[in-house]
Amino acid sequence: MSVFKMQDWELQRKIQNWELHRPKYCKFLLLGPYRLRKGQGDLDYHYHDCDEYIIVTEGKLLFLLEGKKYEVNSGDCLCVPIGGKHQLTNVLEDMTVVWIYDELKGEKRKWHIPVTGGEKEVPGIKIVGWGRWRKEKPVWSRLNDLGISYFPKGKIKMNYHRHDCHEYYFLTKGSLSINVEGKEYKMEEDDFCAIKKGDKHKVLEAFQESTLIWLQDELER
């Protein structure tokens, strides 16, 4: 089990720290929080040599996806397969998201690849609403499940459990305590926790209102 502290986020420093210290079983190239105010947006229309997930915990966004505009709301996960062209063109309400780059594929180029024109349209971009991953997940995605949990302040009733897959927590708001294999850890805003397949775990208490994104890798029975 590994907890990565992401307070005072600095992208270049975190990239280096993540690549050096991420668990060997974790396939994610990189991930992190992203916050913008109403009226802001990204400048570049781009794609990646990996699948990307953009999970919105607060706000409302306008995206350009393969030349068409779509609204993405709090609770949605924007799923972009390798090569899918996209751009956050406008923040309609103050937003908080977590972006996740999955394992590299194809030419294995890192980060943004600018759209120059002439690229083929890539099918498979999908917006999946809160709580609907298992029914609506893209056919290309290797992830078993993902979701968002909103915890009020106080003790949390959760069974001590484990999975036949690796699971990942990302806290975008608040602070809480978790128990993994009998040891208690405190997670604070923007912390990331990697839980190895088979490790027993549960969330114990939210010290304030908290928002937790959880992701489950492919099953390994």
Tell whether 34 and 120 lie within a shared domain. yes
Task: Give the CATH number for residue 130.
Answer: 2.60.120.10
Q: Where does a domain end: 141, 164, 183?
A: 141
Give 129's Cβ-side CA count (13 Å radius): 1
Q: What is the dihedral of CA 156, 161, 164, 165, to 10 degrees?
A: 30
Name which of 111, 169, 109, 166 is nearest 143 in CA terms: 166
Q: Domain tally for the chain?
A: 2
Quote the pTM value: 0.89
- The arithmetic mean of pLDDT across residues 137-143, rounded, is 94
Cα–Cα distance list, 158 to 56, 84, 99, 180, 185 (Å): 24, 38, 27, 13, 16
Tell me, yes or no, whether 221 lies in a domain: no
Is residue 15 predicted with pLDDT exceeding 60? no
How confident is the model over 80-105, as pLDDT tens digits? 999 999 999 999 999 999 999 999 99
Percent of the chain at pLDDT exceeding 90: 64
Specify whether 14 is located in the same domain as 81.
Answer: yes
Look up the domain containing 41 and give its range: 2-141
